[in-house]
Chain A
Amino acid sequence: MKYVRLVRLLLKQNFLRELNFRGNFFLAVGTNALWFLIAIIFFGAIYLQSPSIGGWSMDETLMLLSVSEIVHLLYKGLLGKGVSRIPDLVRTGRLDHLLLKPVDSQFLVSFYRVDYYSLISLIFPLALFFRSLERLTISLTFGQMFAALALIFGSVFILYSVSLFIVSLSFWLTQVYALHALFQEVFSLSNYPESIYSGLLRIAFTFVFPIVIIANYPASFILHKHIGVLWLPVLFAVCVWGLLARRLWFYGLRHYSGASS
């Protein structure tokens, strides 16, 4: 299919671009590493003083942390850069070129940039992930691994859809940056165990800001090998947020008038 070939080509072009572009590998990967390290120290320090957080042991929480970081880095690496360019493209009118192409505009804008530094930084959470699996003596069957991956990619898609939704507001608002930063900060807390949420807040953080879903659900599945009826909220979030984002994007295009008249 044309879109598969396009993704491959975009991956390749972005890679070449990264080589030509004088970016700083060590700084970028180092930043990701430092953030991750601080997060580990954060939880490590808590567990030094207390054996559990709402029933989650240290190894379980660290596994959750690694899953959360994997989801975030996958999003940032594959789609994040494309999405965060949108307000600028709208402002300068350079979005026009992408809109004229005989390719789905949402697809093109999202995949246009790939952040290889984020993808490379995946080695850190992956290392922690596998170490946690070992310490928890968890082994997954092939089918379970597949399901876990599906949940993780579902989470990436949800994170992407929410971000796209927020960023699409830049068709109308000029100050989207602050709102976008809010969502990013809230979503960065997806590495907190779900047992801290209850009642109304739990519903809010599952369905409105789906931060519980994007990391806790895959992690829970890996821990308990069973997710039962919780597939429903995942499906719900994937479909609803996916549709909302796409709808808002196209609605925004209708109102987009470019940089000059």
Chain B
Amino acid sequence: MNAAIEVENLTKTYRVPIRRPGLKGAIKHLFARQYRNVVALDRISFTVQQGAAVGYLGPNGAGKTTTLKVLSGLLHPDEGRIRVLGFDPWRHEEAFKKRIGFVMGQKGQLWWDLPAHDSFELLREMYEIPSRRFLSTLQELVERFSVKDLLYVPVRNLSLGERMKMELIAILLHEPQVLFLDEPTIGLDVMAQHEIRLLLKDYQKRHGATLLLASHYMRDVEDLCDRILLIHQGNILFDGSIDEIKKHYVPFKKVSFTLSRPVESEEVFSQWGEVQEYSGSQVTLTVAEHKVTQIMQLIVTRFPVVGVSVQDPSLEEVIRVAFSTFDNGQGGRDGVA
């Protein structure tokens, strides 16, 4: 299987002007600008196979958007070798642009005063999509997104959710093989977010598209991606599947037991794990991941357990641990819940 995206030693530094306050500062700024260098990306390397969906997670300013922009050709890296579908994005070849799509959360491209259909027409011309192909793709997308009756309504009259769907259709019209997504569900209500995720997943499955998603909504990543890249201060902290990342940083699970008869003391349980919750007939323990089965068996045999549930740490929690570990200077091996 071919690699859809190849990144080697990608480095990007921004020169940010330093402004000093006051009138003197303003004048100085006019004549002798001072800059400081912000390293947005520091020799990043990774590969994404065709058809994969990778999530890019990190706090603001970590370099997520920068990476997406470099990969799509909007930004020029200072160093590094990039290949997307075999193309060098910075060469801006038309063939390259016709194969990629970029979903930008807050920035729309549809003409405000015209119906979405007119913007789609323009896109068809720009991407040189053959008529018949265009019509069938449009039909399919419009049906799946259930916006058929809204095609001829001026975009300004659509609700936020409807508009987002139209924007998404606009990007998928030319059937891109690689999709870059930058905060695609930001600003949407929970229902709309869910819908967008489903639609993206659906598109990816049916077209075998490669997804690279940057978001700080965990649900976006959980629903859409199989693999995560954790990026922090320009470096990749971790590259692996969701399960792997959980095991690596938070190798614990929350196990909850429901008892038919309350048990008096909680100290009894603390030998098997950290007690998170204790209310007589409900106990929740944090247990080391590899010991879960064993401890479950122990407790079930000793106590009148009527219900058990095992919960993974939330991705959010894991990420938080990962970053705080990094910030605390540790390599990140022994994260504690």
Contacts and interface: CB of A to CB of B under 8 A. Distances in A.
Interface stretch (A40-48, A100-108, A138-146): A100-108
A261 B98 contact: no
B40 interface: yes
Interface stretch (B49-57, B124-132, B254-262, B279-287): B124-132
Contact of A93 (B73, B100, B107, B127): B107
B118 A16 contact: yes
A258 to B, nearest CB: 6
Interface residues of B, number: 32
Nearest to A103: B126
A257 B14 contact: yes
Contact of B107 (A17, A94, A254, A257): A94
A96 interface: yes
Q: Interface majority SS on A: helix, strand, loop or mixed? A: helix
A97 B118 contact: no
A96 B72 CA distance: 10
Q: Interface majority SS on B: helix, strand, loop or mixed? A: mixed
Contacts of A16: 114, 118
A199 to B, nearest CB: 34
Interface in B77-112: 94-95, 97-98, 100, 102, 104, 107, 109, 111
Contacts of A93: 107
A137 B313 CA distance: 90
B104 A97 contact: yes
Given A13-B122, A16-B118, A100 B102 contact: yes
A101 B97 contact: yes
A208 interface: no
A254 B125 contact: no
A6 interface: yes
Interface in A81-131: 92-94, 96-97, 99-103, 108
B107 A101 contact: no
Interface residues of A, number: 27
Given A2-B125, A20-B154, A100-B97, A261 B40 contact: yes
A178 B97 CA distance: 35
A257 B102 CA distance: 16
B104 A261 contact: no
A50 interface: no
Chain A to chain B: the 10 pairs with minimum beta-carbon distance, closest first? A102-B97, A97-B109, A102-B94, A20-B113, A21-B113, A101-B126, A102-B98, A17-B113, A103-B126, A9-B125
Interface of A: 2, 5-6, 9-10, 13, 16-17, 20-21, 92-94, 96-97, 99-103, 108, 254, 256-258, 260-261
Interface of B: 14, 40, 61, 63, 65-66, 69, 72-76, 94-95, 97-98, 100, 102, 104, 107, 109, 111, 113-114, 118, 121-122, 125-128, 154
30 contacts: A6-B126, A9-B121, A9-B122, A9-B125, A10-B122, A16-B118, A17-B113, A20-B114, A20-B154, A92-B107, A93-B107, A96-B69, A96-B74, A96-B102, A96-B107, A100-B74, A100-B97, A100-B100, A101-B97, A101-B126, A102-B94, A102-B98, A102-B127, A108-B126, A254-B76, A258-B69, A258-B74, A258-B75, A261-B40, A261-B65
Given A100-B100, A102-B127, A258-B75, 18 more contacts: A13-B121, A94-B107, A94-B109, A96-B104, A96-B107, A97-B107, A99-B73, A99-B74, A100-B74, A100-B102, A101-B97, A102-B126, A103-B126, A256-B74, A257-B14, A258-B65, A260-B65, A261-B65
